Amino acid sequence: MSAAKLVHGYEVVIGFETHAQLSTESKIFSRASTAFGAEPNTQACAVDLALPGTLPVMNRAAVECAIQLGLALGSHIAPRSVFARKNYFYPDLPKGYQISQFEIPVVQGGEVSFMLGDEKKTVRLVRAHLEEDAGKSLHEDFIGQSGIDLNRAGTPLLEIVTEPDMHSSEEAVAYAKELHKIVTWIGMCDGNMQEGSFRCDANVSVRKPGAALGTRREIKNLNSFKFMQQAIDYEVRWQIEQIEDGREIQQATVLFNPETGETRAMRTKEDAADYRYFPDPDLPPLVIAPEWVERVRSEMTELPRAMAERFVRDYGLPEYDAATLTQSKPMAGYFEDTAKACGQHKLASNWVMGEVSRRMNADDIGMEQLPVSAARLAALISRIHDSTISNNAAKDVFDALWNVSGDLISDPGALSVIDDLILAKGLKQMNDSSELEKIIDEVLAAHPKNVEEFKAGNAKALNGLVGPIMKASKGKANPAQVNALLLKKLG
Amino acid sequence: MRDLHHLSVAELAALLRTKQVSAVEVATRFLARLGGNPHNAFLDINSEVTLEQARASDAKLAAGTAGPLEGVPIAHKDVFVTKDFVTTAGSKILTGYRSPFDATVVRKLREAGMVSLGKLNCDEFAMGSSNENSAFGAVSNPWETSHVPGGSSGGSAAAVAARLTPAATGTDTGGSIRQPAAFCGITGIKPTYGRASRYGMVAYASSLDQAGPMARSAEDCALLLSAMCGPDVDRDSTSMDVATDDFSRDLLRPLARAGKDGGALKIGVPRGWLSELRDDVSAQFNDQLQRGSPLVDMKIMSGVQELMRQGAELIDIDLPNTALAIPVYYIVACAEASSNLSRFDGVKFGHRAAQYGDLLDMYQKTRSEGFGDEVKRRIMTGAYVLSHGYYDAYYLQAQKIRRMIADDFQRAFAQCDVIAGPVAPTTAWKLGEKADDPVANYLADIFTLPASLAGLPCMSVPVGLGEGNMPVGMQLIGNYLDEARLLNVAHQFQMAHPECHTAQPENLP
């Protein structure tokens, strides 16, 4: 591992615990819906309410999410894992215990790799385990009382725990972004951080290089990448100040306040509960046969790293292009659809990374709202390739397409849409040499000085001729053809 | 025709099927017997609900769509949740609680045609062996009302013994069907763990709780068990995915052919379980059995001898960890209970303290008021054995010994087909006699706990009267899924000695 960046002479050590909400239709141990945003307590069934006599039954789809993540991160999928009860009292925890996994989790080991600037980083995972979410306590909505909404109770979660392998807030955020990309890529989590589908807790400590690990404080519920970085930076500064002032760090759980940009302790180790974990007698051990793992593997979507390698291999893209295009699954798919349809792989890559991304950023929209279908972009690219239009003129067409709505899914008439636009805008390149020659002759006649200089050996004088020719052709002249004809006439 | 309330489940079903009597007549007759709640056996009675079910049964009988037990009355231990009756599990904390759904066992028995007479008293959350732990008062033993009926299914046993119902459901965690059945002179069976769905049973100790029928004969228990059991894997993850058995199929098989190999039934009697056979058992074990009754032992021996007379072969077997079953059970069951009962917190349902300060105060007052002493004792014991630093020494160790106990049984079943012994060391004791001595109560469970910990099917069969003319039950334990053989053995005994299971308390109204 490379030498860690130091902050005021201290090494920063960060480990992550991420709760990813699984994209299953129903809850982890009941048949109630997991849809977000319903009226309070309308999506909680008898099991979620912990009514007497109810029992948990494992949701197979949640297990498959865990298997997918394990496969994506190169983890060991435990053939036998055990559900345990974490016992504590809280009004939004209906059973008085949370069903989780303790001693034997379903996903063990694995790693997440990502680029931090030019440096490749690898964060090792300890484990990922299945568990149920609690409900929500609504403290603001009632005066003198708290409301309890159990819609979220029993929502399936995977808690993904890393080794303390990160050494800066930038690295921590890069890790979180990479993990976010992977869980959304494989479809096990919708990644919606505002709705709490992807919640990160960061364990932060500092130490002098070579010293034993410092006492950590856990920052809870970081629900945006921006806050994540701010919170860690604040926490690191705060811890160093404490130590420099001769105070010891107390192990604690802290919350980040985005308003003040500060972290604040909510409980210290002294009031740490004894959760009295023990295997849940209502659930037999979770047994995952090798055949199940193989079936999930065979049905799994291609992972970003494998896809990038394939883009390099099959489309001859530079590694940078392949890595950029596989930052998100929709973008990779859009590129691939475009490349396949036009056959011009590098041009397609340039366009998706360039003009398409630029316009998306400018309009602040996602791939799902993209107004230009892959088929239309491909048609446009093929018109560049066959020299019907120049690359610059194509940008005009693209702009027009962006503002024209239409059938974006199946678009058999893409080529005619493009051709109509080229015609309407008069952007067709002047590939007919007789018309071009006429313009060139007129320009040569009008610029005898340039002709003279060129003939005298000043090659730069040619540029003074190309400009007026392109202008006279209203940009439709093919620059390569202009050059060739000029040289011929002056040669 | 004898009085309806003296008829067995099988007899009533036949009369109803042949329309010699209607379900409403039967229900009316039994409801009339419940007036004044004899023995304090019932916790909820609702004649309108019962008669409505009976009318529906009569309609099915008329339409020819009747279930196998159509119109036959039953009553349910109050740990089964029911839509139509209040469910309290014998606890103040659930006073007035009404479930939005029926327990699977309740539903299946209704689907088989049975008409519910109401809910039966029991020890609070099924914790106890005398029914004195009910928040709604003790149940008296119909044989001698100054005595306990046993527990925790004491209301079930008393109601069947007093002919208040021909059948009842019970639950057995560490002996709660077998021991009250023995104390009240009736027949009861706990099937293999996982045979009957636990969905809708208020959980006490999840890895041990199992439902079973309590009635007057093995024949009736077989009919009831067939209706109660079956896979419920969509609701109970510990439900066995095994097709429903016809538990009556082997009732008539002679014991000379009732062995696994088709030969004579081999009856194993564990060394040390009967006083005559106590030789090489531990001092601790002897000490615990000093409270045992020689007359109980004699009755069990005569029961075993009857089986031998019918062709069974007696085999000595060893269950060397029997005495350890007591601490193991009270660790495992209390640990699970401490967690299972956390949901009774005053937030969502059931009792909540009327006056409280903050949240913690609400929890403490609600639970202090709502739970009885024995429940609190077990919650505290369970929380203790699961605590950080004690878990390995208690809970983990108990799980290891639990496995050893199960292994002991498998070694025994390599030698024999069925194990026979006492259900309890003594007959029913007097109300209040052990009320201040919880450990004495725990020790009395010694013979029922091993089979519970192993998850084996087991039953209690009346074999006559012991001290003070109180009933004695013989315990039969079978291997996994071998309920039909247990019922076969019990039925053969009951055919030869009908006086044992048809005996009834004197002075019944």
Q: What is the pLDDT of residues B364-413, one digit of tens each?
A: 999 999 999 999 999 999 999 999 999 999 999 999 999 999 999 999 99
Burial of B214 (0-12, 13-18, 19+ CB in 10 A): buried
Q: What is the mean pLDDT of residues B415-426?
A: 96
* Cα separation, B469 vs B450, whole angstroms: 28
User: Residue A295: pLDDT above 50?
Assistant: yes
- Beta-bridge partner residues of B42: B120
User: Residue A1: pLDDT above 50?
Assistant: no
Annotated active-site residue B190? The verdict is no
Annotated active-site residue B83? The verdict is no
Q: How confident is the model at residue A468 (pLDDT cuts 50, 70, 90)?
A: confident
User: Residue B280: pLDDT above 60?
Assistant: no
- Decide if B489 contacts B306 (C-beta within 8 A): no
* Cα separation, B495 vs B37, whole angstroms: 33
Within a domain: A1: no
Query: Which of A296-305, A452-461, B364-373 comes out lowest in average pLDDT?
Result: A452-461
Q: Are A225 and A360 found together in one domain?
A: no
Q: What tokens appear for B4 in the block?
A: 């309806």
User: Residue A429: pLDDT above 60?
Assistant: yes
Q: Are A12 and A160 found together in one domain?
A: yes
Q: Are A192 and A274 found together in one domain?
A: yes
Question: Which residues of chain B make contact with A56, given a CB cutoff of 8 A?
Answer: 237
By Cβ distance, the residue of A50, A274, A281 closest to B348 is A50
Q: Do B363 and A87 touch (CB under 8 A)?
A: no
Within a domain: A105: yes
Q: How confident is the model at residue A117 (pLDDT cuts 50, 70, 90)?
A: confident
Within 13 A of A358's CA, how many CA atoms are on the CB side? 7
Question: Which residues of chain B make contact with A89, given a CB cutoff of 8 A?
Answer: 342, 345, 363
Within a domain: A481: yes
Within 13 A of A18's CA, how many CA atoms are on the CB side? 33
- Decide if B223 contacts B189 (C-beta within 8 A): no
* Cα separation, A314 vs B490, whole angstroms: 76
Which of A240, A263, A292 is where one domain is finished? Answer: A292
A265 touches chain B (CB under 8 A): no
Q: Do A276 and B339 touch (CB under 8 A)?
A: yes
Q: Are A225 and A321 found together in one domain?
A: no
Residue type, A325: L
Q: Are A354 and A473 found together in one domain?
A: no
Q: What tokens appear for A376 in the block?
A: 């239309």
B348 touches chain A (CB under 8 A): yes
Q: How confident is the model at residue A401 (pLDDT cuts 50, 70, 90)?
A: confident
Q: Which residue of A has its CA nearest to B89?
A: A52
Q: Do B233 and A89 touch (CB under 8 A)?
A: no
Residues in chain A: 491
Q: What is the mean pLDDT of residues A323-338?
A: 92
Within a domain: A299: no
Q: Quick one: pLDDT at residue A463?
A: 79
Nearest chain A CA: its distance from B29 CA (Å): 31
Q: How confident is the model at residue B287 (pLDDT cuts 50, 70, 90)?
A: low
Q: What is the mean pLDDT of residues A43-53?
A: 96
Residue A29 belongs to domain spanning = 6-292
Q: How confident is the model at residue B293 (pLDDT cuts 50, 70, 90)?
A: confident
Q: Quick one: pLDDT at residue B277?
A: 41
Q: Do B386 and A46 touch (CB under 8 A)?
A: no
* Cα separation, B28 vs B335, whole angstroms: 44
Q: What is the DSSP string of A157-195?
A: EEEEEE-S-B-SHHHHHHHHHHHHHHHHHTTS----TTT
B342 touches chain A (CB under 8 A): yes
Nearest to B41 by CA among B80, B78, B72: B78
Nearest chain A CA: its distance from B300 CA (Å): 35
Q: What is the DSSP string of B364-425?
A: HHHHHHHS-HHHHHHHHHHHHHTSTTTTIIIIIHHHHHHHHHHHHHHHHHTT-SEEEEESSS
A50 touches chain B (CB under 8 A): yes
By Cβ distance, the residue of A55, A89, A278 closest to B199 is A55
A118 touches chain B (CB under 8 A): no
By Cβ distance, the residue of B235, B342, B386 closest to A95 is B342
Burial of A320 (0-12, 13-18, 19+ CB in 10 A): exposed
* Cα separation, A227 vs A233, whole angstroms: 10
User: Residue B284: pLDDT above 80?
Assistant: no
By Cβ distance, the residue of A54, A55, A87 closest to B339 is A87
CATH assignment of the domain containing A455: 1.10.10.410
User: Residue B498: pLDDT above 60?
Assistant: yes
Q: Quick one: pLDDT at residue B61?
A: 98
Query: Which of A78-92, A263-277, A418-432, B476-490 comes out lowest in average pLDDT?
Result: A418-432
User: Residue B58: pLDDT above 70?
Assistant: yes
Q: Are A100 and A183 found together in one domain?
A: yes
User: Residue A299: pLDDT above 90?
Assistant: yes
By Cβ distance, the residue of B94, B359, B386 closest to A52 is B94
- Decide if B208 contacts B235 (C-beta within 8 A): no
In this prediction the pTM is 0.89
* Cα separation, A111 vs A126, whole angstroms: 9
Q: How confident is the model at residue A423 (pLDDT cuts 50, 70, 90)?
A: confident
User: Residue A351: pLDDT above 90?
Assistant: yes
Q: Are A156 and A218 found together in one domain?
A: yes
Q: Quick one: pLDDT at residue B291?
A: 54
Query: Which of A165-174, A361-370, B224-233 comes out lowest in average pLDDT?
Result: A361-370
Say what percent of chain B tops pLDDT 70.
96
User: Residue B436: pLDDT above 90?
Assistant: no
Indicate which of B193, B232, B237, B359 best probes the interface with A, i.e. most A CBs within 10 Å of its own CB. B237
Q: Are A369 and A265 found together in one domain?
A: no
Within a domain: A298: no
User: Residue B8: pLDDT above 90?
Assistant: yes
Within a domain: A300: no
Mean pLDDT of chain B: 94
Q: Which residue of A has its CA nearest to B208?
A: A281
* Cα separation, A381 vs A338, whole angstroms: 9
User: Residue A135: pLDDT above 60?
Assistant: yes
Which of A292, A324, A350 is where one domain is finished? Answer: A292
Name every residue whose Cβ is closer than 8 Å to that of residue B409 and which is 6 or more positions away in sequence: B319, B419, B450, B451, B454, B456, B477, B479
Domains of chain B: 4-228 (3.90.1300.10), 255-323+408-502 (3.90.1300.10), 328-392 (no CATH)
Q: Are A243 and A144 found together in one domain?
A: yes
Q: Quick one: pLDDT at residue A2?
A: 45
Question: Which residues of chain B make contact with A53, given a CB cutoff of 8 A?
Answer: 80-81, 99, 101, 103, 199-203
Annotated active-site residue B77? The verdict is yes
User: Residue B276: pLDDT above 80?
Assistant: no
- C-alpha B62: how far from its chain's center? 34
Query: Which of A437-451, B4-18, B480-494 comes out lowest in average pLDDT?
Result: A437-451
Q: What tokens appear for A84 in the block?
A: 């345990």
pLDDT tens digit string along A230-241? 999 999 999 999
Q: What is the mean pLDDT of residues B287-309?
A: 82
Which of A258, A292, A326 is where one domain is finished? Answer: A292
B233 touches chain A (CB under 8 A): yes
Nearest chain A CA: its distance from B255 CA (Å): 37
Q: What is the DSSP string of B479-494?
A: -TT-HHHHHHHHHHHH
Mean pLDDT of chain A: 90
Q: Quick one: pLDDT at residue A348?
A: 94
Q: Are A314 and A282 found together in one domain?
A: no
Q: How confident is the model at residue A408 (pLDDT cuts 50, 70, 90)?
A: very low
Q: Are A362 and A414 found together in one domain?
A: yes
Q: How confident is the model at residue A145 (pLDDT cuts 50, 70, 90)?
A: confident
Q: Which residue of A has its CA nearest to B363?
A: A89
By Cβ distance, the residue of B200, B201, B345 closest to A96 is B345
Number of domains in chain A: 3
Nearest chain A CA: its distance from B238 CA (Å): 6
Q: What tokens appear for B466 in the block?
A: 């012991």
Q: Quick one: pLDDT at residue A409?
A: 46
* Cα separation, B506 vs B509, whole angstroms: 9
User: Residue B303: pLDDT above 90?
Assistant: yes
Q: How confident is the model at residue A432 (pLDDT cuts 50, 70, 90)?
A: low
Q: Are A275 and A402 found together in one domain?
A: no
B379 touches chain A (CB under 8 A): no
Q: What is the DSSP string of B437-491?
A: -HHHHHHTTTTTHHHHHHT--EEEEEEEE-GGG-EEEEEEEE-TT-HHHHHHHHH
A53 touches chain B (CB under 8 A): yes
User: Residue B288: pLDDT above 90?
Assistant: no
Within a domain: A43: yes
Q: What is the mean pLDDT of residues A221-249?
A: 95
B65 touches chain A (CB under 8 A): no
User: Residue A141: pLDDT above 90?
Assistant: no
User: Residue A406: pLDDT above 60?
Assistant: no
pLDDT tens digit string along A371-391? 888 988 988 898 888 888 888
Q: Which is the catalytic residue, given B22, B77, B134, B239? A: B77
H helix runs in B115-264, sequence order: 154-161, 178-184, 218-228
Within a domain: A263: yes
Indicate which of A55, A63, A92, A99 best probes the interface with B, i.e. most B CBs within 10 Å of its own CB. A55
Query: Which of A221-225, B32-36, B413-417, B447-451 comes out lowest in average pLDDT?
Result: A221-225
Burial of B355 (0-12, 13-18, 19+ CB in 10 A): exposed
* Cα separation, B257 vs A48, whole angstroms: 51
Q: Quick one: pLDDT at residue A115?
A: 87
A272 touches chain B (CB under 8 A): no
